[in-house]
C-alpha cells in the first residue's frame, strides 16, 4: 500500500511539474515578444480533479469504439461503466472540499511564483497538494482497476486492447497542452525550419 501511494504521488507530481515547466519555458522564451500582450494571456486553471485522474466514460462511445455488436455484451459494458461512473461521482461529491482547497492553494502559490519569478517554491507546494490528493487518487485507481478487471474478463483480447488504448487516450486529455505552449512549440519548429533553409541558401 505504501508503494502504491508513493507511485501515485510521483505520477501526480510529474504530471503537474511537466505542465508547469512548459509554462515556464514558454514564458522565458517569449517574454520579449509578449511583453505587451502579457495582460491578455491567461494561465490554465488549476484542476485538482484532473490531477487525481478523475474520469468518467460514455458507454455508447465505448461500445462504438470497441465495435461491440452482441446485445448481451453491450449490456455488460453499459452496466460496468454505469457502476464506475457512479463510484467516481461519489468520490467527487464526498471530496469536493479537498478539491476546492487544493485549487485555491495551488492558484495562490502559482500567482505568487509568477509575481516573484521564483518557481522553485512551487515544488514544495506541489508535494503538499499531492499529499492532500493521495487518498482520493487511491480510490480513483481502485475504480479504474475494477473496471479494467471486468472488461478483461468480459471482452475479447482484441477488444480489451482497444479499451486500454482508448482509456489511455482519455487519461492523457486530463493534462492537455495549453494553447500558449502549443504556440511556443510551433514557433520553435518553424524557427528551426527557417534556420535550416537559411543555411542552405548560403
Is 0.75 topped by the overall pTM? no
Position 180 confidence tier, pLDDT thresholds 50, 70, 90: very low
Domain range annotation of the chain? 50-155
pLDDT value at position 43? 58
pLDDT value at position 156? 96
pLDDT value at position 44? 65
C-beta of residue 100 within 8 angstroms of C-beta of residue 67: no
* Least confident among 18-22, 48-52, 63-67: 18-22
Nearest to 126 by CA among 26, 7, 9: 9
Between CA 141 and CA 192 the distance in angstroms is 41
Between CA 49 and CA 142 the distance in angstroms is 16
Amino acid at each position: 500500500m505504501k508503494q502504491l501511494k508513493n507511485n501515485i504521488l510521483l505520477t501526480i507530481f510529474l504530471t503537474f511539474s511537466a505542465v508547469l515547466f512548459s509554462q515556464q519555458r514558454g514564458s522565458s522564451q517569449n517574454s520579449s515578444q509578449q511583453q505587451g500582450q502579457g495582460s491578455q494571456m491567461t494561465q490554465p486553471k488549476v484542476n485538482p480533479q484532473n490531477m487525481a485522474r478523475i474520469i468518467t466514460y460514455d458507454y455508447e462511445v465505448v461500445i462504438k469504439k470497441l465495435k461491440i455488436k452482441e446485445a448481451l455484451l453491450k449490456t455488460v459494458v453499459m452496466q460496468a461503466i454505469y457502476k464506475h461512473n457512479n463510484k467516481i461521482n461519489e468520490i467527487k461529491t464526498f471530496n469536493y472540499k479537498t478539491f476546492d482547497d487544493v485549487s485555491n492553494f495551488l492558484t495562490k502559490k502559482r500567482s505568487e511564483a509568477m509575481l516573484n519569478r521564483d518557481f522553485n517554491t512551487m515544488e514544495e507546494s506541489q508535494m503538499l497538494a499531492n499529499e492532500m490528493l493521495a487518498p482520493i487518487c487511491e480510490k480513483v485507481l481502485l475504480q479504474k482497476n475494477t473496471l479494467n478487471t471486468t472488461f478483461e474478463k468480459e471482452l475479447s483480447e482484441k477488444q480489451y486492447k482497444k479499451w486500454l488504448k482508448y482509456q489511455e487516450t482519455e487519461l492523457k486529455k486530463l493534462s492537455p497542452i495549453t494553447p500558449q505552449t502549443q504556440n511556443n512549440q510551433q514557433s520553435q519548429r518553424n524557427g528551426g525550419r527557417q534556420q535550416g533553409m537559411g543555411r542552405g541558401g548560403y
